[in-house]
Amino acid sequence: PKPAATTVSTLLKRMQDKQFVGYESSGKSRAYFPLVSKDAYFGKHIKSLIKNFFNDSPAQFASFFAQQTSFTEAQLEELKSLIDDQLNRKS
């Protein structure tokens, strides 16, 4: 079922109050746009998830993620490459 216009309006108002979205008025309409980048939003929430559910341990999170996800060999190689890149930047 299609949500009521008031429901969508309420959600957008809440996101605006939290400064996730802004808008521009055009007559009786509003055009909404993001104020927070996808990377910033997910970065904050991933850090919170790791802190609250994995004892603030990225390694525990990575272990859980790897065990619960069916990776192909190519995907595992890609993850390994990403980790190797991070290690090279730190040394």
Per DSSP, which regions of the chain are E strands?
21-26, 29-34
What is the residue extent of each domain of the chain? Answer: 5-34, 38-90
**Tens digits of per-residue pLDDT, 48-88?**
999 999 999 999 999 999 899 999 999 999 999 999 999 99
Is pTM beyond 0.85? Reply is no
Confidence band for 39, pLDDT divided at 50, 70 and 90? very high
Q: Is the dihedral of CA 80, 82, 88, 90 positive or negative?
A: negative
Q: How far apart are CA 91 and CA 84, in angstroms?
A: 11
Cα Rg of the chain, angstroms:
20
Q: What is the pLDDT of residues 23-36, one digit of tens each?
A: 999 999 999 999 99
Q: Encoding tokens for residue 19?
A: 């400064």
